[in-house]
Amino acid sequence: MFRKIKSFFGKLIFIQIILLSFLWMLASGMTLLLINLVHVSYEVNDHQSASIVISILGIIVFWILASILTYVLVGLYKGRDKELDK
């Protein structure tokens, strides 16, 4: 029974690592996309102030959400280790 639980947690950790990888790739991709938005607005002499504000807010939101989810999943992993040691 205990071996079955450890096997399940191993699979769950693998899925969580994949989830975190995709989340950080999304945050990095959105950062690059928003930086490109500022660059394009500069090239076409559009309103740079609006593009800069939207980009700064978007980058902050994506990085904070990715950081919070990483913190939660790492905390769950540490709590799981303590439960399995009992």
73 occurs within a structural domain: yes
Q: Which residue has the higher pLDDT, 9 or 39?
A: 39
Average pLDDT of the segment spanning 17-41:
93
Computed over every residue of the chain, the mean pLDDT equals: 85
Structural domain range at position 49: 13-85
- pLDDT-derived band at 5 (thresholds 50, 70, 90) equals low
Note the pLDDT of residue 45.
86
Determine the Cα–Cα distance for residues 50 and 29; give it in Å rounded to an integer: 20
| pLDDT at position 24 over 70 | yes
60 occurs within a structural domain: yes
5 occurs within a structural domain: no
47 occurs within a structural domain: yes
pLDDT tens digits for 60-80? 999 999 999 999 988 877 776
Q: How many domains does the chain have?
A: 1
55 occurs within a structural domain: yes
Six token digits for residue 30: 């959105």
